Every structure is written in structure tokens, then in C-alpha cells.
Amino acid sequence: MADNEAKWYVVHTYSGYENKVASNLATTVENRGLKDLIQEIRVPTEKVTEMKDNKAKEVERKIFPGYVIVKMVMNDDSWYIVRNIRGCTGFVGPSSKPVALTDEEVERLGVETKTVEINYEVGDSVRITDSPFEDSVGIVEDIDIQNNTVRVIIQMFGRETPVELELSQVEPLE
């Protein structure tokens, strides 16, 4: 059960106890000096506008009621600490054996956001570094940092063709 790299795990809690479990776990980690084992604790929430009595009210709602997401190094000690927090019923996984979230799942959940530094802007010439259009050269038409995409105009079959890629899939020409 030992692994030196911290990964994200999903912890199942009693419904309505998510914040209590997260705060108790954070307190335990702080008191025992285990910041290197249990690094982050999150209760995923979203802001929703609710209509009540013809008035709009912004409310924070849990995305996954009954679950807390924890970034931790999995070993017997960290497993024991999380598992024995009041209100925690166990880890998500087969027969309560913790299964780490994949990088794609973490990205989709929006738990961890990767920042990509770009050193090009609209109108710059860039080379595509990864995709079926690898090594093609084009001109940046649009950059959407929010969605991590860039639209590049490349020449294909004698025509200008827009191609949508991730920000990290292009690099500026020297």
C-alpha cells in the first residue's frame, strides 16, 4: 500500500458531513504534522443561482454530496487516519481498497488546474508539436485560455483550414 507520490482519492462520508469530515481531517493533519502525507482536502462545490420568492439568490452547492476528495500519499498510516475520521465511511474503490483518480478524471472534475504558459499571441506563426498535424506551421487565429484551446490556420490542400488544438500543442516559430 506504499507509494511516494501524492494522488487524489475519493472518500465516502455520511451525507451532510462532508465539511465536517474535511475540517476534522485538516485538524488531524495539522496536529500530527502530516502535511507531507495528506496534502489537500477538498469538498467540490459550485455556485448556483436559485429563485425563491421571485428573488435570485446565489447559493454554493456540493457537486458530489457524500464525498470528499483528498490528495495524499497512500500508506498504512495515511489510510488509517482518513478511514478513522468521524463521519467517514471509507474510500471509493472495490471492497474499500482506495483507487486513485486518473489524471483525466482529476482534470475533468476541475480539482486541479494546470496552468500553461504561452509565449505566442494572435497573429503569431506557430509550429504544431503534437496532433495529426504535427510539424505543420500556421498562424494563431484565436486563443481561449479558459478552455485551454488555440485555433490555428494552416495550409491544407491549398486551402486555409482552421485547426483547434490545446495550448500546449503549439510552439512559436523562432
pLDDT digits (tens, 9 = 90+) for 122-164: 999 999 988 888 989 999 999 887 777 899 999 988 899 999 9
Strand partners, 58: 49
pLDDT number for residue 28: 93
Where do the domains of the chain lie?
7-109, 125-172
Mean pLDDT of 99-116: 73
Task: Report the percent of the chain where pLDDT is more than 70.
Answer: 93
pLDDT band of residue 26 (cuts 50, 70, 90) is very high
Q: Which CATH class is domain 7-109?
A: alpha beta
Look at residue 110 in the predicted model and tell me its pLDDT. Answer: 65
* CATH number attached to the domain at 125-172: 2.30.30.30
**pLDDT digit string, tens, across residues 70-98:** 999 998 888 999 999 999 998 988 876 78
Q: In 19-101, at which residue ranges do the beta strands (DSSP E only) sit?
A: 38-42, 45-52, 55-62, 67-72, 88-91
Question: Which residues have C-beta within 8 Å of that of residue 152, sequence separation ≥ 6?
Answer: 126, 128, 138, 139, 140, 141, 162, 163, 165, 170
Q: What is the pLDDT of residue 88?
A: 92
